A and B are shown apart, each in its own frame.
Chain A
Amino acid sequence: MTDRSEMFDRLKGLIEPFNKKGTEVGEATTFAGDLEWDSLTVMDFVADVEDSFDIIISMNLQAEIENVGQLVDAVTKLTAA
């Protein structure tokens, strides 16, 4: 559980610079709906996450990630590999 909350905190930190509207970020927060990110913001954010964890989040995988919780799961899995 600690690992998961650490991962959440780290990703939340990466979300903040793009969270222009100051939306409250939780596991269920969606990128397109709640954060209102357009494709450009998504691209910049994904690049930041990739670089800070030294991973690749393919566009195929991105298509399946709609909310923060799913991103936490995906990055946890990718960094464990």
Chain B
Amino acid sequence: MTDLFSKFDALIAQREGLLATGVKDPFSLVMEEVKSPTVAVVNGKETILLGTYNYMGMTFDDDVIAAGKQALDEFGAGTTGSRVLNGTFQGHKECEDALKEFYGMDHAMVFSTGYQANLGIISTIAGKGDYIILDIDSHASIYDGCKMGDAEIVAFRHNDVEALEKRLKRLPSDAGKLVVLEGVYSMLGDVAPLKEMIRVSKEAGAMILVDEAHSMGFIGENGRGVAEEQGVLDDVDFVIGTFSKSVGTVGGFCVSNHPKFEIMRLVCRPYVFTASLPPSVVACSAASIRKLMHNGNKRAHLWENSKNLHQGLRDLGFQLGTPNAQSAIIAVIMPDLEKGAAMWAALLENGLYVNLARPPATPAGMTLLRCSLCAEHTSDQVADILDRFERAGKAVGII
């Protein structure tokens, strides 16, 4: 018998080798208590959270929690059904209404996760004979959406407008084309030149999908994302987003002005063939989305945090993924996986949690310590974070 698991042997060996050096397993951390959007208890120790996607700190918002409790009481624990059968409750419609208002768009469709939103929309709208043109550093959910569909997939170099334009020009002019972009790329926290990319895509007659998962609530005047910030949201055909970041719950969505968009509810398999979100989750999400519309001060504080952390880490001598703070994500580049894991463990011992990110999730084979800031981090916490980075960095010998 061939052991189907033998294909994972190299990864198993790499993991065992890493653990044998004495570091704690970075991928099996447990949060024993969560005290606030920025503090949790890990291994019995109070720890500052700098590796969540809780950008706007909505997870403990009083109004969000109250909405969820009320929905739990009034609508029960779950829906036990698909959105197209018995799984659409009042709360799902209210959540979609909140999204339409948030983005100023005609249609909104809520999925059970952000992953499923990309999987569903991409695999459904681009079919056989169509082309999907995507950035090589696209998120796994985008690649999986491509793999699930029947379109031809064309990749271009990360954030390279010229490479995108050249490829678009080589495609048959009458073929259906979907250009898939992200506002903020989550590994390095860098922002896409959407304005130029959308211009060349429109000139080639392509439709455009932008994943704004890591920019919603934070970037753009109304928190609609990078496309809003660059003044091109009206040219985007489909915006994909998630509730598991700034919104602070779980779920995904697509908003669009396409006049035929509602047909997606019948043909999009990751929407149809799965259970809908629980009533409490959609109620929390709707309350959170409505609050995110009017959060100018929190957005300003988050930018301040991001800029301060970026500057501080650079001054300490760390190598960063972007030359300046472009989003709420600051990626610290590690020399290799061993050093990265040691640094990660040293930070945790100093009471600071960050994400350890490694290939294949990262571009260019990099090992990253990914820091994501929250609007609820105080200026004192940011100073504290820098202090812990300095101590850990010196202990591990990175700075």
Contact = CB atoms under 8 A, between A and B. Distances in A.
A19 B136 CA distance: 22
Interface bracket on B: 10 to 19
Given A38-B365, A40-B365, A43-B136, A58 B170 contact: no
B160 to A, nearest CB: 9
Contact of B163 (A40, A47, A55, A60): A47
A73 interface: no
Given A43-B155, A51-B166, A56 B171 contact: yes
A14 B153 CA distance: 23
Contact of A58 (B136, B154, B364): B154
Interface in A35-54: 38-40, 43, 47, 50-51, 54
B163 A56 contact: no
Contact of B167 (A38, A43, A50, A60): A50
A40 to B, nearest CB: 6
Nearest to B166: A51
Contacts of A60: 152-153
A80 interface: no
A52 to B, nearest CB: 12
A54 B154 contact: no
Contacts of A58: 131, 152-154
A40 B365 CA distance: 8
Given A43-B155, A59-B155, A54 B365 contact: no
A43 B154 CA distance: 11
A43 B156 CA distance: 9
Contacts of B152: 58, 60
Contacts of B15: none
Contacts, number: 30
Nearest to A58: B152
B167 A59 contact: no
Contacts of B156: 47
A50 B364 CA distance: 21
B170 A56 contact: yes
B100 to A, nearest CB: 34
Contacts of A40: 364-365
Given A43-B136, A47-B163, A51-B166, A59 B153 contact: yes
A51 B165 CA distance: 12
A59 B132 CA distance: 10
Nearest to B146: A59
A31 to B, nearest CB: 16
A39 B360 CA distance: 10
Contacts of B163: 47
Interface string B162-174: 0100110011000
A39 B136 CA distance: 10
Nearest to B134: A59
Nearest to A54: B170
A18 to B, nearest CB: 15
Interface string A18-34: 00000000000000000
Interface of A: 38-40, 43, 47, 50-51, 54-56, 58-60
21 contacts: A40-B364, A40-B365, A43-B136, A43-B157, A47-B157, A47-B163, A50-B166, A50-B167, A50-B170, A51-B166, A54-B170, A56-B154, A56-B167, A56-B170, A56-B171, A58-B152, A58-B154, A59-B146, A59-B153, A59-B154, A59-B155
Given A40-B364, A40-B365, A58-B153, 19 more contacts: A38-B365, A39-B360, A43-B155, A43-B157, A47-B157, A47-B163, A50-B167, A50-B170, A51-B166, A54-B170, A55-B170, A56-B167, A56-B171, A58-B131, A58-B152, A59-B146, A59-B153, A59-B154, A60-B152
